[in-house]
Amino acid sequence: MQKLVIKKISARKILDSRGNPTIEVEVVVRRGRATGTGRAAAPSGVSRGKHEVVAFPSGGPDASIELVRKTIASKLVGRPVGGQEELDSILHELDGTSNFSKLGGNAAVAISMAVAKAAASTHGMPLYRYLGDRRAVQLPYPLGNVLGGGAHAGRYAPDIQEFISAPVGASSFLDAAFANSQVHKKVRDLLEQKDKTFTGGKGDEGAWAPNLNNEDSLEVVAQACDDASSEFGFEIRPALDVAASRLYDEKKDAYIYERSGKTLDRGEQLDFIIELIDTYKLFYVEDPLHEEDFDGFAELTSKVGKKCLICGDDLFTTNVARLQKGIKAGAANAVIIKPNQIGTLSDTLAAIKVAKKHDYIPVMSHRSGETHDETIANLAVGWGCPLVKTGVVGSERMAKLNELIRIEQELGEKARMGRLR
């Protein structure tokens, strides 16, 4: 196979969905006589695990962009690259740190994604097909954040970060996406009945941000899921992203629920999560314990893992070594996959392969500070992730949803929904 030759790399500062700066990269490549162009933008997360790669080096996005323009481009332009792994290995070598603290993980992942898109372009095929070949026919079920709290919302919102709609009974991605949209609408209607002070405020991901405690919020979302299930004729279940690392006080060794006025030790936190799973028939719970508690995750998974997905985000940070540690401990049965947590597509794929080998469900995910980049939609299909977190509303979220709708239509009769167990 002819090698890619990188002809041009350019970088610019753009706005993410919060209005904060992030980086976008464009790459032009040549393969034989064919040329291709790829553009990719990196998102940013506010609820970040401490084991993630560094998003930007000292000096922020501007310093990262300057490094891409002056250092990375000069090293890569004109250089033949044999494939994605080789390109990503070069990025690691040029950065020279274990966590992309010199170049910045956002710059690294934007370059990595842009090169993959440019390479796909030289073959005249969409990215999902380039990554997954003809086996890429599986659409993920979308997890939709419909009511929010924690770091993504205001001070009077619930302590739990995300209350999620999971349309697990849908037979098509199109139906699943519109089911989440309907749940989002119903949540607003129910909030207006339950909270007379509700003014329609939203959090970072477009989820409603009411002045309610956790249990009342979950009641609303569970009711909205039930109502929408009746309308659509398939099962839609509630789910949670607790983001427990944001609630955990290391000095007190306890979880502080400020909005609810509760302080829970580890045993009480486990009991609380199990009670929510049983009461509301939760399909999925993400980060129910803090990011270092592998044993706590393992205990929870052993008790409820057969009826609920227990997913690690901050626990794993798309990092193979941490995922292997969790697998050995029996911690969780699902893992969030965020390319900018780890810095390159090759590192991202390595985590997905380890997860699948050990029957962990890989969940491709957006970030709270998003862009209009649609790459993760293609990664979810190309690499066969059964679930995707994309949000429900907001143009930066719909960029992913609409891309998945287009992919499903393009696949036609070959398309099928992912296997969740």
Catalytic site positions: 205, 338
Going through 214-337 in order, the beta strands assigned E by DSSP cover 237-241, 248-249, 254-257, 262-264, 284-286, 309-312, 334-337
How many angstroms separate the CA atoms of 276 and 255, rounded? 16
Residues 6 or more apart from 60 whose CB is under 8 A from it?
Answer: 21
Query: Phi/psi at 41 (nearest 5 deg)?
Result: -125, 140
Please name which of 314, 400, 398, 310 lies closest in space to residue 360, comparing C-alpha atoms: 310
Query: Phi/psi at 125 (nearest 5 deg)?
Result: -135, 155
How many angstroms separate the CA atoms of 237 and 155, rounded? 27
Q: Is 52 within 8 Å of 347 (Cβ atoms)?
A: no
Residues 6 or more apart from 297 whose CB is under 8 A from it?
Answer: 288, 289, 310, 312, 315, 326, 329, 331, 332
Task: Return the residue matching tokens 């690392």.
Answer: 245
